[in-house]
């Protein structure tokens, strides 16, 4: 079985297990999604979802957020970690959205990645989930699973993203990255993983010595 055939079999299994894929981060609009994804860096989605109700009660749009003191933002998002940097980024990007984008979240990778605290992965999530543009956000979990399944060399997330985009149909990317995240949480954790009991690793897992 070559990589294309393996990818097809994995996609079939993921479709079977996760026919629907709700976005893990709670949000009501593209701005809230952008902020939530920014907060999720080195933090669990569960913890972000506990923090954002208070944050979005304070401000759920760039105009209101830009008026807040950075210290007030920081005090709310502290449980997410990296709060000094994240609070500053949220404040700054809100002002940029007002000054440069008419208060709207831009619908381009280039404009999103120019915002403070927004990298390629965050931009990819926003483009795919807020605007429906095909993207394949690769976080550390997807990076790990792609290596375990022998779909990528696992050298870095940039390489993994390119490898996965070649293997899977473009129209599947937006849903697929969420399916992989859900699968990783349920069956393929970083620690305590038992390959023999994993619906994918037991069949398609990387063999020892495989490159």
d(CA 94, CA 66): 6
Q: Read off the DSSP letter of residue 23.
A: -
**Catalytic option among 121, 165, 172, 207:** 121
Structure tokens that stand for 23 in this block: 């976005």
Whether residue 163 lies in the annotated active site: no
d(CA 25, CA 52): 9
Whether residue 121 lies in the annotated active site: yes
d(CA 181, CA 24): 10
Structure tokens that stand for 45 in this block: 């989605």
Residue 93, judged by CB atoms within 10 A of its CB (0-12, 13-18, 19+), counts as buried
Residue 177, judged by CB atoms within 10 A of its CB (0-12, 13-18, 19+), counts as buried
What residue has token string 């009501």? 28
Helix (H) or strand (E) holding 158: helix 157-167
**Catalytic option among 86, 139, 163, 175:** 139
The dihedral formed by the CA atoms of 145, 130, 90 and 80, expressed in degrees to the nearest 10: -40
Helix (H) or strand (E) holding 126: helix 120-129
Q: Which residues are catalytic?
A: 121, 139
């Amino acid at each position: 079985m070559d990589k294309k055939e393996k990818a097809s079999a994995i996609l079939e299994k993921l479709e079977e297990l996760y026919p629907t894929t709700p976005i893990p981060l709670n949000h009501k609009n593209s701005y809230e999604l952008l902020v939530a994804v920014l907060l999720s860096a080195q933090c669990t989605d569960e913890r972000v979802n506990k923090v954002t109700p208070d944050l979005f009660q304070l401000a759920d749009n760039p105009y209101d957020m830009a008026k807040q003191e950075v210290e007030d933002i920081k005090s709310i998002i502290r449980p997410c970690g990296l709060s000094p940097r994240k609070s500053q980024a949220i404040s700054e990007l809100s002002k940029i959205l007002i000054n440069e984008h008419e208060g709207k979240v831009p619908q381009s990778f280039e404009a999103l990645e120019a915002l403070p605290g927004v990298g390629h992965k965050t931009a990819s999530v926003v483009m795919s989930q807020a605007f429906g543009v095909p993207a394949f956000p690769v976080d550390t979990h997807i990076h790990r699973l792609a290596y375990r399944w022998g779909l990528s060399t696992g050298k870095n997330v940039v390489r993994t993203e390119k490898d996965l985009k070649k293997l899977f149909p473009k129209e599947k990317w937006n849903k697929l990255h969420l399916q992989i995240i859900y699968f990783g949480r349920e069956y393929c954790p970083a620690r305590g993983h038992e390959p023999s009991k994993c619906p994918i690793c037991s069949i398609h897992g990387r063999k020892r010595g495989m490159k």
